[in-house]
Amino acid sequence: MAPHDDRTAWLVKAGKRAKHARDFVIKDMVSIGSEWPGVGDLSTASDAEVFLAIEAAGRKKPADDLVQLRILSTRMATGDIVVTPDVANGDLLFGAVSGEYEYSARPVVEDHHHSRPVSWFGRLTVDHLEPFLAKAVDWRGGTLRRLPEQTHWLRLAGEIRDGLGRPASDFPRIAKAAPAKRKTPSSTPRMAANPTMVVNPDQLCPSCGLLRAASMFPDGSEYCRDCD
């Protein structure tokens, strides 16, 4: 029988379209806060105080928001697994909580004041997931939650630690534009864009009195072919 794993796998989103995914990896953390302006240090505030601050921010379901904030501040434990979608790159980031909840009066990223330190250890393309796991991370109900199918997520995290996937810091690089090729002068002279056409001047025939093209006059004759 496999030993019991008492860790928990959590889904933590990195803002709209995962715009803070890179910040999470670079700063070794996860953070939340955009939805709850005015909510202060969760380690010193009671549930009632947090609830009222959320309500004052105009949130429709303050009780649900309170649960998410408390997950970050108290329910997460050191060693728990964090899964964060990196939507722009089609990946999932995997890390482990490495410390206690922190509140910063100065936002740690954009307008996020609440964070947990995380040691990121890998990333995996979403396309490699089983459909039921991919569905679990495509959650529209909030920012943070306990993932269903815990056994599968913890096993997957272990496989990523063992080398499956890529390093968490392996963000796709923007390819540099190829330098413009210098034009080599051609040895073949180019035709002018609007070449001037050489037109033979007209010649007056003294017999018929008409202006005729030079080609209408036999060599050396002053009369046109019709009159010659």
Q: Which helix (H) or strand (E) holds 211?
A: strand 211-213
What are the b/e assignments for 43-74, b being 16+ CB within 10 Å? eebeeeebbebbeeeebeebeebbebbbbbbe
Reply yes or no on whether the pLDDT at 176 is more than 80: no
pLDDT given at position 31: 98
Look at residues 126, 125, 130, 123 and name the one whose alpha carbon lies nearest to residue 149.
130
Inter-CA distances, 108 with 21, 44, 92, 105, Å: 13, 19, 22, 9
How much is the average pLDDT of 141-162?
96
Residue whose tokens read 């909030």: 142
- pLDDT in the model for residue 200: 47
What is the structure's pLDDT at 227?
66
Residue 121: burial class (beta carbons within 10 Å; 0-12, 13-18, 19+): middle
Q: Which residues contact 200 (CB under 8 A, 6 or more apart)?
A: 213, 214, 215
pTM for the complete prediction?
Answer: 0.74
User: Distance between CA atoms of 81 and 69, rounded to whole angstroms?
Assistant: 17
Report how far residue 133's alpha carbon sits from residue 92's, in angstroms, rounded to the nearest whole number: 11
pLDDT tens-place string over residues 35-82: 888 999 999 999 999 999 999 999 999 999 999 999 999 999 999 999
Q: Which residue has the tokens 């496989």?
A: 159
Euclidean distance between CA atoms 139 and 95, whole angstroms: 19
List phi, psi (to 5°) of 226.
-70, -25
Residue 151: is its pLDDT beyond 60? yes
> Other C-beta atoms within 10 Å of 114: how many?
24
Residue 83: pLDDT over 50: yes
pLDDT on residue 34: 85
Tens-digit pLDDT profile for residues 198-222: 444 567 666 666 676 777 777 767 7
Confidence at residue 222, expressed as pLDDT on a 0 to 100 scale: 74
